[in-house]
């Protein structure tokens, strides 16, 4: 016996264990490589998504914390701006060592789709709290930090805008363009942080925000208890201002992206879940094929414990190698994704950051253990069967099905299915659909575990029907084999069922979501044309005079205006969008995609809340709520709930007249235009652009908005599409490896059939039929199981994660194409493997049974 080659991972194993393990891998390398590849892909995707999200989240949180510098508390309003009259009161408050006023704007750039964040600072106050954001002027211009035309840019902002010190920069204030001078840089800003700084007085004047602040940073005196002081201030300014601290901002960031991050990680585990079944298939087939060999080892003195350890060792080796490869591949994928696609994976939660990608030993260890655990779980049942088999019966051929008889017990499957159904009725935990995910896993495990009993019933019935109706040798052999060896059939079905059902579920969910978004856009985009003062940012706006001018433009029959702003209802949650527009309270469904019933309040002003407000803030139709506007809270009645796919953190809509009466804010952001009969959008656009401010407006038509929105949708679900492809590929490889292994293991059976007169062509037809029938039932059950899982994703996971609902839509074309590819590959694989199994002589194939 030659000594097997030394592999570092296996060098410490006993000689017999290494000999058995490496001998099995040399004999069937394809099966081992498929199992290792599945584990590696699952670990790689999960590790990559974790690294990207962790790096982006940590960098975004650090960038947000840096804006507050070394302050102890922040004073802010529920609305984006508040009156600066409160500043002297806070600056002179007992316990306050220093108060730094800040005005923060997301300034619109005329030629950019993204805004530039600008901080207006009192340089003398901010130097003691946030010195990193003090601009560095030129040596010969030390007073540029106070100049009214000077702005300081971070290195990332300079790179993004292609500017350098001394260059002019154009920004939007209303519909006017203001030109500032890049007076220097912010050398200590974080990498990738696009930010600018101005003198606060100059910024208030230039951007028409005189007398307004965004927040006030407070540095407390030594010895002052921060929590007690925070409670005192909160009580003092109750209903007017909010007192927050840095941890609140970190919680806001975490809450904003948590559902998206968790869902991506769960989707990444799809490949690992499928890999567990491929490991099970690999080890089960290996144990069945070597059943007599293991029995001989038992006779020669190998104990049950040693044999159990050997089979578990083989599965663990697959998991260890796959996990190590997955860790390396995952880090490479994360680095490539950050370099080419940015840090948000399409979700848009971490704009303006450029995170570094450190290697996380703790995360790598956890994913390594997860991959190994999945592999051990997959080989547990085959290992137990190998250890408990009696040596004498196992030495004989033909007992393979009895070795898997425990798989046909339906009760574990029924328990899993019932538990999965029960979990769908449970509420979310920590605002996450934990029980929804568990229900999906239990349905998958239960469905796969039920396959041996289902296969026996279906193929047994098919065999009885065929025997009565036909004398076909091929049909008789096929159905007899499948009906009397259902457990072996279930091994082949496990990989098909897991991959196809998950692919079906994700495909239905994404298609349902996409079509629902498209229908939602069709309802919202009822006007002929739309114009806005700025694509992004909060420094654009149309004055009342400009609004009247637009409404009087020739060719325009009607103009509805929209004001969009933000409200902070909970310091630890993302902002809620406030939209003020023309709404008919008697029939809000003309404007809003209403869900459920509406009411028409007579004694209070109405607001209409998005679905997210129901879950996050408990809004219900008919409920009286308090919303801060104009510097103080006002009472409203929730008149209805509307569907909003754009803002998962919540939104409320109100009538524009009510908003103006309460706030005095007469500006608007957008305008919807309906044209007069005979007028075209091109003519209307030309007429509006001829207005003195018309060149500053951005125009779009409903079709353009829909196309851009759906493009953003597809980008957001790019990772989901990738995971669908991975699930399909793993399923195809699993089918190929399983059928190939089963066919080769049945060489003696085929030899006996040929010995008694069955032709080579008939055996190939048997194999093709077996592969086709097995895959067909796997596809049928996988479709049913995937459909049930899609219902959980659509009606439980998505509402509990993102707080929106959708309608069910079936992508029949995609599902049929994937099913046909899976069916064709199974038949082709069975034929290729069959030709190899039949390549030897019939006498040699059966000689072991003589």
pLDDT tens digit sequence for 203-231: 999 999 999 999 999 999 988 899 899 99
- Cβ atoms 5, 22 nearer than 8 A: yes
Output the CA–CA distances (angstroms, integers) from residue 331 to 137, 272, 324, 730, in the order listed: 40, 17, 11, 21
Residue 212 dihedral angles phi and psi, to the nearest 5°: -120, 145
Q: What single string gives the DSSP state of each residue in 231-283? A: HHHHHHTTTT-EEE-HHHHHHHHHHHHHHHHHHHHHHHHHHHHHHHHHHHHHH
Residue 430: what pLDDT? Answer: 80
pLDDT(535) > 80: no
Residue 180: count other Cβ atoms within 10 Å of its Cβ.
Answer: 22
Residue 838: what pLDDT? Answer: 63
pLDDT tens digit sequence for 598-617: 998 878 899 999 999 999 99
pLDDT(383) > 60: yes
pLDDT(453) > 60: yes
If DSSP codes are grouped into helix, strand and coil, which group holds residue 98?
Answer: strand
pLDDT(291) > 50: yes
Measured distance CA(47)–CA(359) in Å, rounded? 10
- Cβ atoms 56, 376 nearer than 8 A: no
Residue 666: count other Cβ atoms within 10 Å of its Cβ.
Answer: 16
Residue 636: what pLDDT? Answer: 95
pLDDT(4) > 50: no
Measured distance CA(78)–CA(563) in Å, rounded? 17
Residue 59: what pLDDT? Answer: 74
Measured distance CA(272)–CA(695) in Å, rounded? 54
pLDDT(484) > 90: no
Per DSSP, what are the bridge partners of residue 674?
Answer: 558
Residue 11: what pLDDT? Answer: 47
104-118, 392-406, 659-673: range with highest mean pLDDT = 659-673
Lowest mean pLDDT among 400-414, 553-567, 639-653, 815-829: 400-414
- Cβ atoms 609, 642 nearer than 8 A: yes
pLDDT tens digit sequence for 163-219: 999 999 999 898 889 999 999 999 888 877 889 999 999 999 999 999 999 999 999
Q: Which percentage of the chain shows pLDDT scores above 90? A: 37
Query: Among positive and negative, which fits the CA dihedral 819, 820, 823, 828?
Result: negative
Lookup: tokens for 454:
């289902």
Measured distance CA(133)–CA(144) in Å, rounded? 14
Q: What is the mean pLDDT of the chain?
A: 83
Q: What is the mean pLDDT of residues 783-810?
A: 91
Q: What single string gives the DSSP state of each residue in 38-52? A: HHHHHHHHHHHHHHH
Residue 476: what pLDDT? Answer: 75
Measured distance CA(529)–CA(29) in Å, rounded? 62
pLDDT(541) > 80: yes
Nearest to 292, CA basis, from 718, 822, 849, 850: 849
Residue 120: what pLDDT? Answer: 95
Q: What single string gives the DSSP state of each residue in 613-668? A: HHHHH---TT-EEEEEETTEEEEEEEEEEE--SS-TT-EEEEEHHHHHHHH----B
| 518 Cβ neighbours under 8 A, 6+ residues apart | 706, 710
- Cβ atoms 54, 360 nearer than 8 A: yes
- Cβ atoms 667, 209 nearer than 8 A: no
Nearest to 502, CA basis, from 544, 558, 444: 444
Nearest to 782, CA basis, from 502, 453, 445: 502
Q: Model confidence at 7, in pLDDT bands (50, 70, 90)?
A: very low
Q: What is the mean pLDDT of residues 363-371?
A: 91
Output the CA–CA distances (angstroms, integers) from residue 486 to 472, 474, 491, 733, in the order listed: 21, 18, 9, 21
Measured distance CA(387)–CA(305) in Å, rounded? 7
pLDDT(456) > 80: no
Q: Model confidence at 324, in pLDDT bands (50, 70, 90)?
A: very high
Strands 242-244 and 116-121: unpaired
Q: Which percentage of the chain shows pLDDT scores above 70? A: 85
- Cβ atoms 807, 507 nearer than 8 A: no
Q: Model confidence at 405, in pLDDT bands (50, 70, 90)?
A: low
If DSSP codes are grouped into helix, strand and coil, which group holds residue 152?
Answer: strand
Q: What is the mean pLDDT of residues 497-515?
A: 87
Lowest mean pLDDT among 238-242, 508-512, 525-529: 238-242
Q: Model confidence at 20, in pLDDT bands (50, 70, 90)?
A: confident
Residue 353: what pLDDT? Answer: 61
Q: What is the mean pLDDT of residues 449-477?
A: 75
pLDDT(149) > 90: yes
- Cβ atoms 96, 234 nearer than 8 A: no
Q: What is the mean pLDDT of residues 414-433?
A: 90
- Cβ atoms 38, 274 nearer than 8 A: yes
- Cβ atoms 347, 302 nearer than 8 A: no
pLDDT tens digit sequence for 58-73: 777 777 777 777 888 9
Rg (CA), the chain: 34
Q: Given 3-state DSSP classes, what are the helix, strand and coil percentages for the chain, each rounded to the nearest 5?
A: 60, 15, 25
Which position has the higher pLDDT, 493 or 772?
A: 772
Which position has the higher pLDDT, 688 or 430?
A: 688
Lookup: tokens for 133:
């954001």
Which position has the higher pLDDT, 493 or 17?
A: 17
Q: Model confidence at 544, in pLDDT bands (50, 70, 90)?
A: very high
pLDDT(684) > 60: yes
Lowest mean pLDDT among 427-436, 638-647, 769-778, 805-814: 769-778
Residue 662: what pLDDT? Answer: 94
What stretches of 3-72 show up as alpha helix (H) in DSSP? 15-27, 29-68
Nearest to 349, CA basis, from 579, 67, 616, 59: 59
Q: What is the mean pLDDT of residues 693-697?
A: 90
Give the chain's length.
Answer: 850
- Cβ atoms 178, 206 nearer than 8 A: yes
DSSP state of 607: E
Residue 133: what pLDDT? Answer: 87
Strands 195-199 and 116-121: parallel
523 Rama class: left (phi>0) / alpha (psi -120 to 50) / beta: alpha
pLDDT tens digit sequence for 709-738: 888 788 777 767 776 676 667 666 666 666
DSSP state of 575: P
If DSSP codes are grouped into helix, strand and coil, which group holds residue 347?
Answer: coil
């Amino acid at each position: 016996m030659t000594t097997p080659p030394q592999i570092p991972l296996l060098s410490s194993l006993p000689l017999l264990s290494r000999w058995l393990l490496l001998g099995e891998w040399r004999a069937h390398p394809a099966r081992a490589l498929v199992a290792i590849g599945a584990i590696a892909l699952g670990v790689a995707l999960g590790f990559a998504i974790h690294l990207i999200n962790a790096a982006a989240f940590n960098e975004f949180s650090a960038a947000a914390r840096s804006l507050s510098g070394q302050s102890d508390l922040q004073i802010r309003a529920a609305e984006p701006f508040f009156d600066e009259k409160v500043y002297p009161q806070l600056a002179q408050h007992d316990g306050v060592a220093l108060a730094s006023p800040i005005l923060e704007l997301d300034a619109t750039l005329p030629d950019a789709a993204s805004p530039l964040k600008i901080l207006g600072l009192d340089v003398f106050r901010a130097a003691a709290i946030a010195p990193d954001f003090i601009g560095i002027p030129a040596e010969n211009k030390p007073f540029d930090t106070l100049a009214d035309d000077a702005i300081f840019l971070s290195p990332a902002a300079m790179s993004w805008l292609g500017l350098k010190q001394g260059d002019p920069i154009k920004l939007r204030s209303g519909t006017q363009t203001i030109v500032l001078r890049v007076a220097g840089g912010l050398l200590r800003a974080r990498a990738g942080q696009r930010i600018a700084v101005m003198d606060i007085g100059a910024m208030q004047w230039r951007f028409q925000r005189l007398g307004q602040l965004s927040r006030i940073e407070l540095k407390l005196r030594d010895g002052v208890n921060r929590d007690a002081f925070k409670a005192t201030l909160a009580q003092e300014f109750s209903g007017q201002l909010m007192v927050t601290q840095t941890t609140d901002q970190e919680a806001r960031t975490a809450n904003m992206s948590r559902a998206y991050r968790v869902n991506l990680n769960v989707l990444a585990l799809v490949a690992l879940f499928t890999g567990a079944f491929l490991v099970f298939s690999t080890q089960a087939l290996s144990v069945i094929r070597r059943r007599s060999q293991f029995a001989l080892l038992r006779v020669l003195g190998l104990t049950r414990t040693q044999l159990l350890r050997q089979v578990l060792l083989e599965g663990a080796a697959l998991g260890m190698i796959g996990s190590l490869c997955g860790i390396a591949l995952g880090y490479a994928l994360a680095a490539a994704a950050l370099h080419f696609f940015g840090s948000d994976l399409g979700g848009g939660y971490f704009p303006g950051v450029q995170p570094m990608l450190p290697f996380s030993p703790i995360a790598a260890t956890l994913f390594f253990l997860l991959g190994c655990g999945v592999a051990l779980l997959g080989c547990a049942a085959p290992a137990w069967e190998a250890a408990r088999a009696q040596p004498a019966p196992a030495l004989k051929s033909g007992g393979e099905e009895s070795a898997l008889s425990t798989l046909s017990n339906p009760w574990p499957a029924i328990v899993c299915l019932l538990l999965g159904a029960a979990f769908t009725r449970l509420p979310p935990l920590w605002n996450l659909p934990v029980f929804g995910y568990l229900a999906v896993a239990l349905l998958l495990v239960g469905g796969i575990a039920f396959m041996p009993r289902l296969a026996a019933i279906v193929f047994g019935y098919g065999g009885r029907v065929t025997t009565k109706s036909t004398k076909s040798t091929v049909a008789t052999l096929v159905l007899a084999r499948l009906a009397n060896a259902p457990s072996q059939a279930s091994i082949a079905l496990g990989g098909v069922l897991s991959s196809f059902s998950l692919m079906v579920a994700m495909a239905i969910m994404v298609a349902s979501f996409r079509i629902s978004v498209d229908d939602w856009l069709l309802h919202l985009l009822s006007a002929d044309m739309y114009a806005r003062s700025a694509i992004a940012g909060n420094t654009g706006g149309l004055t009342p005079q400009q609004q009247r001018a637009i409404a009087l433009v020739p060719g325009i029959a009607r103009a509805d205006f929209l004001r969009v702003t933000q409200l902070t209802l909970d310091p630890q949650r993302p902002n809620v969008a406030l939209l003020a527009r023309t709404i008919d309270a008697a029939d809000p469904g003309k404007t809003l995609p209403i869900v459920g019933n509406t009411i028409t309040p007579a004694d209070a002003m109405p607001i209409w809340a998005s679905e997210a407000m129901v879950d996050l803030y408990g809004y219900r139709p008919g409920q009286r709520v308090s919303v801060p506007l104009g510097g103080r809270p006002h009472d409203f009645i929730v008149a209805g709930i509307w569907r909003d796919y754009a803002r998962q953190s919540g939104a409320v809509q109100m009538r524009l007249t009510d908003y103006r009466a309460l706030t005095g804010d007469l500006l608007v952001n957008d305008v919807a235009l309906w044209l007069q009969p005979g007028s075209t959008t091109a003519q209307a656009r030309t007429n509006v652009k001829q207005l003195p401010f018309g060149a500053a407006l951005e125009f779009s038509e409903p079709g353009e908005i829909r196309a851009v929105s759906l493009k953003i949708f597809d980008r957001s679900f790019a990772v989901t599409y990738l995971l669908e492809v991975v699930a399909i590929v793993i399923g195809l490889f699993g089918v190929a490896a399983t059928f190939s292994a089963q066919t080769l293991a049945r060489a003696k059976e085929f030899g006996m059939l040929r010995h008694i007169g069955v032709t080579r062509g008939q055996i190939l037809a048997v194999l093709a039929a077996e592969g086709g029938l097995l895959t067909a039932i796997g596809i049928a059950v996988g479709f049913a199981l995937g459909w049930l899982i899609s219902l959980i994703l659509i009606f439980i996971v998505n509402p509990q994660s993102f707080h929106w609902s959708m309608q069910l839509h079936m992508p029949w074309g995609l599902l049929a194409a994937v099913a046909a590819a899976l069916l064709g590959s199974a038949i082709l694989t069975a034929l290729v493997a069959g030709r190899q199994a039949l390549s030897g002589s019939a006498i040699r194939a059966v000689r072991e049974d003589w």
